[in-house]
Structure 1
């Protein structure tokens, strides 16, 4: 799970913002200007080999071209977004742009992918800002894009060879701004979102790599539990331990890590991560490594901080696992996506009814029109598609997503939970402040589902043994 993200394709802006007044920008003296362009060694030009994902991206572009004959299509990478004053957030290209170009963590801001219609389909051009010659003022004066500040930028010819697509300077796109661009935002956004519902071989390999790296991140957290417990803001320590793995072995996290200890685990998107990690409590960790390709895992495990579950914690935990296993059992090609959620919720409703927490029977709670009483303790959905976005394919039509049929190549989560808020008077006191979620990443194959994250301990016994092994090491 993660905080919500927009998944729409917007037209790029070509307007140049007015220069801002700042005390940090000082004039360059004449001596600097006279000498800055001289004394540099020649920079060798090399043509990189085509990257692994280039043929897959080309096939995706072909699918887009076939779906929009005669239409001019514009897919921008996006720009830097301001964090504060003159600092920006790290740049991440729009998912549709990355998916259709194969340009991922190394994509250049303000690039634009354009499909120009022809009699036989489209001419596709990737417009980007060419690297500046050292004789230009941009080289030393522009802290956003100048190579003196941020390092070498890719050359047009290199990008063309790398990605297998024609390239041109972004100024040429800006110069054609007066041309009529057919407004296909809504249809195009939907199409490229649905295009990602079934992953190709490259995408599946990246998802496996993301999950494997995430598993190492969870191992790191378990190994560091004693230090985490000793840290006043232990939730931040969990976040930091996982971040080290994500940045060392990947591009970073695919979304803000949730490190929720004690009653914080009952807040579904707890990302403040500013509380202690206290023995006797459970800690819910929802984290995923994003690879350089931008494909991300999304895994949740709930750990007993002391190393063992209390009887009530174990009962709740194993109920959530039972719900997850029930959802996994119904997942097969041809089954509707919503059946996963329905299977999990049937377990949740039955168990909370058995515990006396519902004012109605489990069957009445599961009634689609008049029920839902059990959803107080699990308000979120059980599954979402996963890929280059943590909540992938979000703009797909309902009949293709929630009401669609499972197909080989789909990757999605199964993540039931139970959350008893600290001040919920509808549950016994011993339940209050306990939150549990178990989340796995599932690949659908022709032979059925494969749990990509199955090697990360799941059962209560496995989790306790995991923590015990780490403490003996």
Structure 2
């Protein structure tokens, strides 16, 4: 397990003193730390309810949900740590989570007993606190204590060393979220295989893996309907994201002046993300001019040129790890040209038509169909399709999809594309319920070399994306305060 690994600092470059004199000196002379006055965090009661729901689905099964290890960026430097989404959802630990932690739900007579295993701070009687660059307090700051986290999250806690006993008890009742921590998954598979060979496991390893996949599916589907805490976090993430868009508009003169203005857009927004939350929820798309026709343009190394549009797809992830996902398309000079406005207003009409049908009882896929109806009608009206809009909308035609190949909506929450392991009947074909949160994001993209459209359209890409929550009577656009009509966007830019 990760706890036994040696520090990454290699002996050929380590200058850490190793004498007994130094160890004695550095281990003494420290003031007592203040008493811990931690109180449970706001999400504790909600995370507990989620675990109870999962517990009821898996009576008698041991469930292992790892947070995951840190991921190496280069040599001995890691990417910023983010716990696995299922772990974050079921513990509520958010950006404070410690790498390599594991949530274990042990079956009991009345459900499950949940224990959070993590590596707590190394004591100052150990040389780890100054000599281990992965977990040493001198290197990474103090770690929370077991007692602190127990109160903070309302969970039983245990040192990570105790997780070895859980692994020793692996049997047919044990399931693991497989993609969260490869080392733990491999260890569990090995124990299962050994147990099967010795006859102490009735189930085959293959069958257990199938059950693991069902667990991954179920913890994904558990997030399809958000609770009150989650919806409030989404509101806050959207509000922070609006600030980020405002910052970019304020900085437009410097952005335009730089040869790689898209990078400045990204940097300005990311600064706000770090100030108001944990980070960006995904790589910011700052796509100016024809780059807006590249759906996942994240190189962001081009200029921002007056006369063009810039498509900005960005979202701030809070410390709770809930993220917004907003797209706005802005005329860099401050006003749309006639053709740009025509395309923009067509996309807006599609977005508004899709939003207008959202209510409990419809199926998720109907949102996309409604947006596509408008996209087909507009592209047919402009003469871009070889058939009528009605003919293009037939399943075996779909000519209009040349100009919008992506879907209109995806679920949103802890992941920007949340609940991705849910079954089709629970995702695309699911009947909407109050508390579901998703995007509506139609677009039109006319590639610079697309000969099926007039020259004045080529190189124009427009997307408008909002974050939506289903209510008891309909839906609420959480991002409605971020200007979205053509006139409001122009006024927004004029006010900078």
Q: Assess same fold via TM > 0.5.
A: yes
Counterpart Cα distance in 2 of 1:391 and 1:410: 13
Q: Which of residues 119, 131, 138 is equivalent to 1:148?
A: 138
Counterpart secondary structure, 1:176? helix
- Confirm or deny that 1:448 pairs with 2:456: no
Which 4+ stretches in 1 moved above 6 angstroms?
Answer: 12-15, 17-20
Quote the offset at 1:15 in angstroms: 7.1
Counterpart Cα distance in 2 of 1:323 and 1:32: 69
Residue in 2 that maps onto 1:9? none
Q: Once the two structures are superposed, what CA deviation does each residue of 1:253-294 show, in whole Å capped at 9, x if it has no partner?
A: 100000000000000000000000000000000000111100
Residue in 1 that maps onto 2:94? 104
Counterpart Cα distance in 1 of 2:164 and 2:258: 52
Q: Which of residues 229, 232, 236 is equivalent to 2:259?
A: 232
Residue in 2 that maps onto 1:398? 424
Quote the offset at 1:118 in angstroms: 1.4
1:386–1:413 Cα contact (<8 Å) kept: yes
Counterpart secondary structure, 2:103? strand
- Confirm or deny that 1:65 pairs with 2:55: yes
Quote the offset at 1:20 in angstroms: 7.2
Residue in 2 that maps onto 1:411? 437
Counterpart Cα distance in 2 of 1:29 and 1:199: 53
**Residues 356-395 of structure 1 correspond to what in structure 2 (within 5 A)?**
356-368=383-395, 370-395=396-421
**Using CA pairs below 8 Å that are at least 6 residues apart, which structure has the higher relative contact order?**
1
Bigger helix fraction: 2
Counterpart Cα distance in 1 of 2:448 and 2:264: 23
Q: Which of residues 88, 91, 105 is equivalent to 2:78?
A: 88
Residue in 1 that maps onto 2:327? 300
2:7–2:133 Cα contact (<8 Å) kept: no
Q: Which of residues 464, 469, 472 is equivalent to 2:490?
A: 464
Q: Once the two structures are superposed, what CA deviation does each residue of 1:415-457 show, in whole Å capped at 9, x if it has no partner?
A: 0000011111221111111000000000110021111101111
Counterpart secondary structure, 1:154? coil
Q: Which of residues 312, 321, 326 is equivalent to 1:285?
A: 312
- Confirm or deny that 1:210 pairs with 2:237: yes
List runs of 5+ in structure 1 lacking aligned partners.
1-11
Indicate how the Cα distance of structure 1 residues 19 and 412 shifts in structure 2: closer, same or farther if over 3 A, else same: closer
2:3–2:160 Cα contact (<8 Å) kept: no
1:207–1:387 Cα contact (<8 Å) kept: yes
- Confirm or deny that 1:342 pairs with 2:369: yes
List runs of 5+ in structure 2 lacking aligned partners.
176-210
Counterpart Cα distance in 2 of 1:390 and 1:19: 32
Q: TM-score, normalised by structure 2?
A: 0.90
Counterpart Cα distance in 2 of 1:18 and 1:56: 37
RMSD of aligned residue pairs (Cα, Å): 1.5
Indicate how the Cα distance of structure 1 residues 135 and 105 shifts in structure 2: closer, same or farther if over 3 A, else same: same
Counterpart Cα distance in 1 of 2:375 and 2:3: 52
Q: TM-score, normalised by structure 1?
A: 0.94
Residue in 1 that maps onto 2:191? none
Q: Once the two structures are superposed, what CA deviation does each residue of 1:83-140 show, in whole Å capped at 9, x if it has no partner?
A: 0011000000111101101100001111000011112211110001111111111111
Counterpart Cα distance in 1 of 2:300 and 2:349: 28
Residue in 2 that maps onto 1:432? 458
Indicate how the Cα distance of structure 1 residues 56 and 315 shifts in structure 2: closer, same or farther if over 3 A, else same: same
Residue in 2 that maps onto 1:245? 272
Counterpart Cα distance in 2 of 1:281 and 1:290: 29
